[in-house]
Amino acid sequence: MNKVKSAIKVLVVDDQPLIVEELCEFLESSGYRCVPCESSQEALQRFTEDADIGLVLCDLHMPEMDGIELVQALQRVAGKKRAFEAIMLTGRADKQDVIKALRAGIADYYQKPINLEELLEGLERQEAALEDRRKDLHLGNLNQKLQYLSESIDDLYHDLDKARRTPREPEGEELSGEESGPVEIPAIFNQLSPRQLDVARLVGKGQTNYQIACELGITENTVKLYVSQVLRLTHMHNRTQLALALSPNNSAMRQRVTAH
């Protein structure tokens, strides 16, 4: 028994049983696991039931549903959460059929009678391409989750900041101008996100980009991006002007800087 070299299964589809048998025997001897099918309907069902199928070898000319229609049906089943690569086999190399197949997303094609060694090389290339697509798909899913997490954290920052400021507003009025209380944030800063506001406050304290990056647990380049966003949103020209606007010891300057 030959050692399996790939975790990816190959769906082999042809309405001629002898061709299916020959292809499966060759591919299994080369280390692949095959799922033999003698009709498009059977192939569609097996693909739906077996998530390990990632490579598809299908005949172009089959009754009821040809190879192109089959691949399009498999794409609908796969959706955006599953990737596969398809290779078309054809006994008649009609140029228009080939163009139509490639436009439908079929990666490659081979004309019958098939050179098995060339087919194996092509299958290995498509296996490598599939691995790259699956990595991209996985990264895309992770990015979506990170985006959702980031939005959730921003919401939490916003709620936390709101909770901290709300009860202190009366105390600020009773202080009658004393500077020992919390610094009132100018209205122009209300449009900032919680993280942008965090960066702005640290700039107001005179911290460098490196110090801000260490305190917030982000990269220095990300800090630069946040500072740029804050300056643009508040219509300020530089971080010195931003620091003055947030300084508790320069109320007159703050009013002049933030007046728009």
The phi, psi pair for 10, rounded to 5°, reads -110, 120
- Element at 86 (helix H, strand E): strand 85-90
Contact 12, 34 (CB under 8 A): yes
- For residue 21, what are the contacts with CB-CB under 8 A and spacing of at least 6? 36
Mean pLDDT by 10 residues, the chain (260 residues): 80 96 96 96 96 95 92 93 92 81 90 92 92 78 64 67 59 44 68 86 88 86 86 85 72 49
What is the predicted pLDDT for the residue at 7? 86
Two tokens, residue 37:
């099918």
Q: What is d(CA 172, CA 59) in angstroms, rounded to the nearest whole number? A: 78
Three-state SS at 22: helix
184-260 topology per CATH:
Arc Repressor Mutant, subunit A (1.10.10)
What is the predicted pLDDT for the residue at 57? 96
What is the predicted pLDDT for the residue at 196? 86
Contact 34, 28 (CB under 8 A): yes
Contact 114, 89 (CB under 8 A): yes
Q: What is d(CA 55, CA 96) in angstroms, rounded to the nearest whole number? A: 24
| Sheet with strand 9-13: strands edge to edge | 33-37, 9-13, 53-59, 85-90, 108-111
Three-state SS at 93: coil
Q: Burial level of 32, CB count in 10 A (0-12/13-18/19+)? A: buried
- For tokens 């190399």, what's the residue? 93
Assign domain 9-136 to its CATH superfamily. Answer: Response regulator (3.40.50.2300)
Domain ranges of the chain: 9-136, 184-260
What is the predicted pLDDT for the residue at 151? 66
What is the predicted pLDDT for the residue at 138? 65
